[in-house]
Amino acid sequence: MKYGDPRLVEHLASAYVLGTLTRGARNRFERLRRDRADVNLAVSQWEARLGQLAQSVPAIRPSARVWRAIEARTRPVAQARSRSAWPGWLKPAGVGLGGLAAGLVAALALMTLAPAIFLSADQAAMRSGEKLPQSYVGLLTDAQGDGKLLVSSLRHGRTMTVKVIGPIAPPAAGRLVLWAVPTDAPPFMLGPVPTSGSAVSMLPDTSEKLLSKVRKLIVTLESSERPAAPGPVVVFSGNCAKLW
Protein backbone atom coordinates (compact mmCIF):
# COMPACT_ATOMS: atom_id res chain seq x y z
CA MET A 1 0.00 0.00 0.00
CA LYS A 2 1.35 3.45 -0.92
CA TYR A 3 1.51 5.11 2.47
CA GLY A 4 3.40 8.02 0.90
CA ASP A 5 0.21 9.25 -0.77
CA PRO A 6 -1.17 12.16 1.37
CA ARG A 7 -4.71 11.36 0.24
CA LEU A 8 -4.41 7.81 1.56
CA VAL A 9 -2.98 9.08 4.87
CA GLU A 10 -5.92 11.50 5.23
CA HIS A 11 -8.43 8.74 4.48
CA LEU A 12 -6.85 6.32 6.96
CA ALA A 13 -6.53 8.99 9.66
CA SER A 14 -10.20 9.96 9.37
CA ALA A 15 -11.31 6.32 9.44
CA TYR A 16 -9.01 5.65 12.42
CA VAL A 17 -10.51 8.51 14.44
CA LEU A 18 -14.07 7.53 13.50
CA GLY A 19 -13.38 3.90 14.42
CA THR A 20 -14.24 2.39 11.03
CA LEU A 21 -10.96 0.56 10.39
CA THR A 22 -10.91 -3.22 10.75
CA ARG A 23 -8.73 -4.66 13.51
CA GLY A 24 -5.92 -5.59 11.12
CA ALA A 25 -5.95 -2.23 9.33
CA ARG A 26 -6.05 -0.41 12.67
CA ASN A 27 -3.01 -2.33 13.95
CA ARG A 28 -1.07 -1.56 10.76
CA PHE A 29 -2.03 2.10 10.99
CA GLU A 30 -0.92 2.32 14.63
CA ARG A 31 2.47 0.87 13.67
CA LEU A 32 2.69 3.51 10.95
CA ARG A 33 1.88 6.25 13.50
CA ARG A 34 4.88 5.23 15.63
CA ASP A 35 7.26 5.88 12.73
CA ARG A 36 5.79 8.92 10.98
CA ALA A 37 5.21 12.39 12.37
CA ASP A 38 2.97 13.37 9.44
CA VAL A 39 0.61 10.49 10.21
CA ASN A 40 0.44 11.52 13.87
CA LEU A 41 -0.34 15.09 12.81
CA ALA A 42 -3.14 13.92 10.50
CA VAL A 43 -4.70 11.94 13.37
CA SER A 44 -4.42 14.93 15.73
CA GLN A 45 -6.11 17.19 13.20
CA TRP A 46 -8.98 14.76 12.69
CA GLU A 47 -9.40 14.37 16.46
CA ALA A 48 -9.56 18.17 16.74
CA ARG A 49 -12.11 18.52 13.94
CA LEU A 50 -14.41 15.76 15.11
CA GLY A 51 -13.86 16.57 18.79
CA GLN A 52 -15.15 20.11 18.34
CA LEU A 53 -17.97 18.84 16.16
CA ALA A 54 -19.01 16.36 18.85
CA GLN A 55 -19.32 19.19 21.37
CA SER A 56 -22.16 20.62 19.28
CA VAL A 57 -24.16 17.40 19.76
CA PRO A 58 -26.58 17.29 22.73
CA ALA A 59 -25.34 15.10 25.58
CA ILE A 60 -26.77 11.59 25.62
CA ARG A 61 -26.63 8.77 28.16
CA PRO A 62 -25.59 5.51 26.48
CA SER A 63 -27.65 2.52 27.53
CA ALA A 64 -26.23 -0.33 29.60
CA ARG A 65 -26.45 -2.50 26.47
CA VAL A 66 -24.02 -0.21 24.65
CA TRP A 67 -21.52 -0.22 27.52
CA ARG A 68 -21.69 -4.02 27.72
CA ALA A 69 -21.02 -4.24 23.98
CA ILE A 70 -18.04 -1.87 24.25
CA GLU A 71 -16.58 -3.83 27.14
CA ALA A 72 -17.10 -7.13 25.34
CA ARG A 73 -15.21 -5.81 22.32
CA THR A 74 -12.36 -4.10 24.19
CA ARG A 75 -11.65 -6.26 27.25
CA PRO A 76 -9.45 -9.34 26.68
CA VAL A 77 -11.26 -12.62 27.32
CA ALA A 78 -8.93 -13.69 30.12
CA GLN A 79 -9.25 -10.33 31.86
CA ALA A 80 -13.03 -10.40 31.48
CA ARG A 81 -13.21 -13.85 33.11
CA SER A 82 -10.98 -12.76 35.99
CA ARG A 83 -13.41 -9.95 36.79
CA SER A 84 -16.58 -12.01 36.65
CA ALA A 85 -17.39 -10.94 40.21
CA TRP A 86 -17.95 -7.34 39.11
CA PRO A 87 -21.48 -5.87 39.24
CA GLY A 88 -23.77 -7.06 36.47
CA TRP A 89 -23.70 -3.78 34.53
CA LEU A 90 -19.91 -4.11 34.17
CA LYS A 91 -19.86 -7.76 33.09
CA PRO A 92 -18.92 -8.33 29.43
CA ALA A 93 -21.77 -9.58 27.27
CA GLY A 94 -21.78 -10.79 23.70
CA VAL A 95 -24.06 -8.08 22.37
CA GLY A 96 -23.51 -7.56 18.67
CA LEU A 97 -23.32 -3.87 17.68
CA GLY A 98 -21.61 -2.25 14.73
CA GLY A 99 -18.09 -1.19 15.66
CA LEU A 100 -18.62 2.36 14.49
CA ALA A 101 -21.97 2.77 16.26
CA ALA A 102 -20.49 1.68 19.57
CA GLY A 103 -17.32 3.67 18.96
CA LEU A 104 -19.21 6.86 18.12
CA VAL A 105 -21.43 6.62 21.19
CA ALA A 106 -18.42 6.06 23.43
CA ALA A 107 -16.49 8.89 21.77
CA LEU A 108 -19.39 11.33 22.01
CA ALA A 109 -19.92 10.49 25.68
CA LEU A 110 -16.22 10.91 26.43
CA MET A 111 -15.96 14.18 24.51
CA THR A 112 -19.02 15.54 26.29
CA LEU A 113 -17.78 14.59 29.76
CA ALA A 114 -14.11 15.46 29.26
CA PRO A 115 -13.54 17.53 26.11
CA ALA A 116 -10.28 18.93 27.47
CA ILE A 117 -8.46 15.67 26.79
CA PHE A 118 -8.81 16.20 23.05
CA LEU A 119 -6.50 18.54 21.18
CA SER A 120 -7.94 21.79 19.91
CA ALA A 121 -7.48 22.69 16.26
CA ASP A 122 -4.89 25.29 17.21
CA GLN A 123 -2.94 22.83 19.33
CA ALA A 124 -2.83 20.34 16.48
CA ALA A 125 -1.71 23.05 14.09
CA MET A 126 1.08 24.12 16.45
CA ARG A 127 2.71 20.74 15.92
CA SER A 128 3.22 21.61 12.27
CA GLY A 129 4.12 25.25 12.94
CA GLU A 130 1.07 26.73 11.23
CA LYS A 131 -2.49 27.67 12.15
CA LEU A 132 -5.46 25.71 10.83
CA PRO A 133 -7.85 27.89 8.84
CA GLN A 134 -11.21 28.79 10.30
CA SER A 135 -13.80 26.52 8.70
CA TYR A 136 -17.36 25.27 8.77
CA VAL A 137 -17.44 21.47 9.14
CA GLY A 138 -20.23 18.91 9.17
CA LEU A 139 -20.16 15.18 9.92
CA LEU A 140 -23.16 13.41 8.39
CA THR A 141 -24.31 9.95 9.41
CA ASP A 142 -26.98 7.52 8.27
CA ALA A 143 -29.96 6.35 10.34
CA GLN A 144 -27.75 3.78 12.13
CA GLY A 145 -25.24 6.45 13.19
CA ASP A 146 -22.51 5.34 10.78
CA GLY A 147 -20.34 8.20 9.49
CA LYS A 148 -20.78 8.74 5.75
CA LEU A 149 -19.74 12.27 4.77
CA LEU A 150 -17.44 15.03 5.97
CA VAL A 151 -18.39 18.48 4.65
CA SER A 152 -15.98 21.39 5.00
CA SER A 153 -15.61 24.96 3.76
CA LEU A 154 -13.30 27.80 4.71
CA ARG A 155 -15.05 30.47 6.72
CA HIS A 156 -14.69 33.13 4.03
CA GLY A 157 -14.28 30.73 1.11
CA ARG A 158 -16.57 30.15 -1.85
CA THR A 159 -16.01 26.42 -2.28
CA MET A 160 -17.29 23.41 -0.36
CA THR A 161 -15.65 19.99 -0.14
CA VAL A 162 -17.73 16.87 0.42
CA LYS A 163 -15.63 13.83 1.35
CA VAL A 164 -16.98 10.29 1.55
CA ILE A 165 -15.77 8.58 4.75
CA GLY A 166 -18.05 5.54 4.70
CA PRO A 167 -19.43 3.28 1.97
CA ILE A 168 -22.36 4.78 0.06
CA ALA A 169 -24.41 2.75 -2.41
CA PRO A 170 -25.19 4.79 -5.55
CA PRO A 171 -28.96 5.38 -5.78
CA ALA A 172 -30.81 3.33 -8.37
CA ALA A 173 -32.59 6.48 -9.53
CA GLY A 174 -32.11 10.16 -8.83
CA ARG A 175 -29.16 11.75 -7.10
CA LEU A 176 -28.00 12.75 -3.62
CA VAL A 177 -28.19 16.46 -2.77
CA LEU A 178 -26.77 18.33 0.24
CA TRP A 179 -28.92 20.95 1.99
CA ALA A 180 -28.25 23.52 4.71
CA VAL A 181 -30.97 23.96 7.32
CA PRO A 182 -30.80 27.44 8.95
CA THR A 183 -32.35 28.13 12.32
CA ASP A 184 -34.64 30.89 11.02
CA ALA A 185 -35.08 30.31 7.29
CA PRO A 186 -36.07 27.58 4.81
CA PRO A 187 -33.44 24.98 3.80
CA PHE A 188 -31.31 25.79 0.76
CA MET A 189 -29.29 23.55 -1.55
CA LEU A 190 -25.50 23.44 -1.26
CA GLY A 191 -24.67 20.99 -4.03
CA PRO A 192 -24.49 17.37 -5.22
CA VAL A 193 -23.07 14.58 -3.09
CA PRO A 194 -20.57 12.00 -4.45
CA THR A 195 -20.87 8.32 -3.59
CA SER A 196 -17.10 7.81 -3.45
CA GLY A 197 -13.97 9.94 -3.11
CA SER A 198 -14.60 13.65 -2.73
CA ALA A 199 -16.10 16.53 -4.68
CA VAL A 200 -15.65 20.31 -4.61
CA SER A 201 -18.59 22.60 -5.38
CA MET A 202 -18.74 26.35 -5.93
CA LEU A 203 -20.92 28.31 -3.52
CA PRO A 204 -23.03 31.34 -4.50
CA ASP A 205 -21.51 33.37 -1.65
CA THR A 206 -18.96 33.00 1.14
CA SER A 207 -19.47 30.28 3.74
CA GLU A 208 -19.68 32.94 6.44
CA LYS A 209 -22.72 34.52 4.82
CA LEU A 210 -24.35 31.21 3.91
CA LEU A 211 -23.64 29.06 6.96
CA SER A 212 -23.33 31.41 9.95
CA LYS A 213 -26.89 30.56 11.09
CA VAL A 214 -26.90 26.94 9.90
CA ARG A 215 -26.84 24.28 12.60
CA LYS A 216 -27.87 21.22 10.58
CA LEU A 217 -27.02 19.62 7.23
CA ILE A 218 -29.06 16.96 5.46
CA VAL A 219 -28.74 14.87 2.31
CA THR A 220 -31.87 13.92 0.39
CA LEU A 221 -32.59 11.76 -2.62
CA GLU A 222 -33.84 13.95 -5.47
CA SER A 223 -35.11 13.25 -8.97
CA SER A 224 -34.86 16.86 -10.18
CA GLU A 225 -31.61 18.56 -11.22
CA ARG A 226 -32.46 21.77 -9.35
CA PRO A 227 -35.02 20.97 -6.62
CA ALA A 228 -36.55 24.02 -4.93
CA ALA A 229 -36.88 22.30 -1.54
CA PRO A 230 -35.65 19.08 0.09
CA GLY A 231 -37.58 15.94 -0.80
CA PRO A 232 -39.13 13.69 1.85
CA VAL A 233 -36.38 11.03 1.73
CA VAL A 234 -33.55 12.12 4.08
CA VAL A 235 -30.58 9.80 3.59
CA PHE A 236 -27.94 11.39 5.85
CA SER A 237 -27.95 14.17 8.43
CA GLY A 238 -25.60 15.89 10.85
CA ASN A 239 -24.63 19.09 12.63
CA CYS A 240 -22.80 22.04 11.09
CA ALA A 241 -20.05 23.28 13.42
CA LYS A 242 -17.69 26.27 13.46
CA LEU A 243 -14.01 25.44 13.91
CA TRP A 244 -12.71 28.65 15.51
- Shared-domain flag, residues 195 and 125: no
How many domains, in total, are found in the chain?
A: 2
Whether residue 216 has pLDDT greater than 70: yes
% of the chain at pLDDT higher than 70:
70
Contact predicate 234/219, CB 8 Å: yes
Domain boundary among the residues 77, 102, 132 is at: 132
Residues 2 and 100 in one domain: yes
Residue-wise pLDDT for 73-115, tens only, equals 777 655 555 554 444 433 444 444 444 455 555 555 544 444 4
In the chain, what percentage of residues exceed pLDDT 90? 26
If asked whether residues 74 and 54 sit together in one domain, one would say: yes
Q: Looking at residue 177, which CATH number applies to its domain?
A: 2.60.40.200
Q: Please report, in angstroms and rounded to a whole number, the separation of the first and last CA atoms in the chain.
A: 35
Q: Identify whether residues 3 and 117 lie together within a single domain.
A: yes
Q: Same domain, yes or no, for 181 and 65? A: no
Which among 193, 207, 74 is positioned nearest to 142, based on CA atoms?
Answer: 193
Instruction: Name which of 3-17, 30-44, 86-100, 179-193 the model is least confident about.
Output: 86-100
pLDDT of residue 175: 93
Condensed to tens digits (0 to 9), the pLDDT of residues 41-59 reads 788 777 776 766 665 556 6
Q: Give the separation between CA 140 and CA 138, rounded to whole angstroms.
A: 6
90/177 same-domain check: no
Domain boundary residue among 132, 167, 202?
132
Q: Which residue has the higher pLDDT, 106 or 10?
A: 10
Q: What is the residue range of 124's domain?
A: 1-132
- d(CA 205, CA 157) in angstroms, rounded, equals 8
- Whether 126 and 146 share a structural domain: no
Please return the burial class of 188, using the count of CB atoms within 10 Å of its CB with bins 0-12, 13-18 and 19+: middle
pLDDT, tens only, 110-124: 444 444 434 444 444
Last residue of a domain, one of 116, 132, 148: 132
Do 211 and 181 fall into the same domain? yes
User: With contact defined as beta carbons under 8 Å apart, do 95 and 72 qualify?
Assistant: yes
User: H/E element holding 135?
Assistant: strand 135-141
DSSP annotation of 115 reads G
Least confident of 2-11, 52-61, 143-152, 183-192: 52-61
Say if residue 1 is in the same domain as residue 94.
yes
* pLDDT score recorded for residue 62: 75
Q: What is the pTM of this model?
A: 0.52
Question: Are 127 and 147 found together in one domain?
Answer: no
* The pLDDT of residue 226 is above 60: yes
